[in-house]
Copies of this chain bind each other. A is one copy, B any other.
Amino acid sequence: MSALVLSGKELASAIRADVAERASALAAAGVPPRLVVVVATADEASAWYVRSIAKAAGKVGIVCDVVDLGPDATAEVIRGRLGELSADPAVHGVILQTPLPEGCSVEELAGDIAFEKDVDGANPLSLGRLAAGLPAFAPATAEAVVRLLEHHEVELAGRHVAVVGRSTVVGKPAAHLLLDRNATVTVCHSRTRDLAAVTSTADVVVAAVGRAGLITAAHVAAGAVVVDVGTNPTADGGLVGDVDVASVDHKAGAVTPVPGGVGPVTTALLLQHTVQAASH
């Protein structure tokens, strides 16, 4: 028997429909929701991603401005702009796109995004508030993991979830969101001894490392649910996740696809956060 495919498309579509309705109401009330993406790179993949966000925003009635500071922007210039946008009442959501110019740390710079507008949860204050149980926007990718599991009615309370990857944007915030859902959470990483021994005891495995094919049948318990956060470019211009689908397919109970799993939910949540920020 093959693993179930836990698509993110239906959930993303439902979120976008909700966002479109709220954006329309906000616009009618004189508050057109506005998202600003600050870019300081000439990276092509980044430019593609920003265009895809802008397009998705436009479709649901969110204005999306791209502020391109150029690949030579200094930390001071970037911080200054983030501060201005944070103070601008016509702006509701602010995203600082990566990569950044050399020497700039997204964690440091994102501290200048007001946490109320930090729709991708990049400000360390957002992460800390999340961990402390205070209102804050989670990084959209981390939240997409949990929302996708909830959408497919995967029980989390009391179950053991192994998160593979300890990044500030996915692994760590996902761990906090899962703890908040009463899961028992293990965070694994590159230094974990015998990764397969740890992950194969879990009811749910979240792969967020960025290494194609890392998670094989040896890493998952029979019937486990596998969430694939990886987006690794292939030589032919495609995209694959961190999960070796051919390997896990006959052992896992369910797997999220790449593309079409966490990705579309992530984009939809960025837009949902923006209308939430505009509603305050």
Partner of A124, one of B105, B125, B179: B125
A245→B182 CA distance, assembly (Å): 28
- Roughly how many angstroms separate A162 CA and B189 CA in the complex, as a whole number? 15
Mark out the residues of chain A between 178 and 216 whose CB falls within 8 Å of any chain B CB in the assembled complex. Answer: 179, 182, 184-189, 191-193, 198, 201
Copies of this protein, total = 2
* B residues less than 8 Å from A46 (CB atoms): none
A269 proximal to B (CB < 8 A): no
A120 to chain B, nearest CB (A): 14
Inter-chain CA distance A198–B162, complex, in Å, is 12
- Which of chain B's residues have a CB closer than 8 A to the CB of A131? 124, 127-128, 131, 168, 172
Q: How large is the interface on A (under 10, 10 to 19, 20 to 34, 35 or more residues)?
A: 35 or more
Flag whether A21 is at the interface (Cβ < 8 A). Answer: no
A184-B179 in contact given A129-B128, A131-B127 (Cβ < 8 Å) = no
Q: Are A185 and B182 in contact (CB under 8 A)?
A: no
Nearest-neighbour CB distance to chain B for A167, whole angstroms, equals 10
Interface residues of A (CB under 8 A from B): 105, 107-108, 123-134, 157-160, 166, 168, 172, 175-176, 179, 182, 184-189, 191-193, 198, 201
Identify 23 residue pairs between A and B in the complex whose beta-carbon atoms are under 8 Å apart, listed by A's number: A105-B134, A107-B129, A107-B132, A107-B134, A123-B128, A124-B125, A125-B128, A127-B128, A127-B132, A128-B130, A131-B172, A132-B168, A133-B168, A157-B191, A158-B193, A160-B193, A166-B179, A175-B187, A182-B191, A184-B187, A184-B188, A184-B192, A185-B186
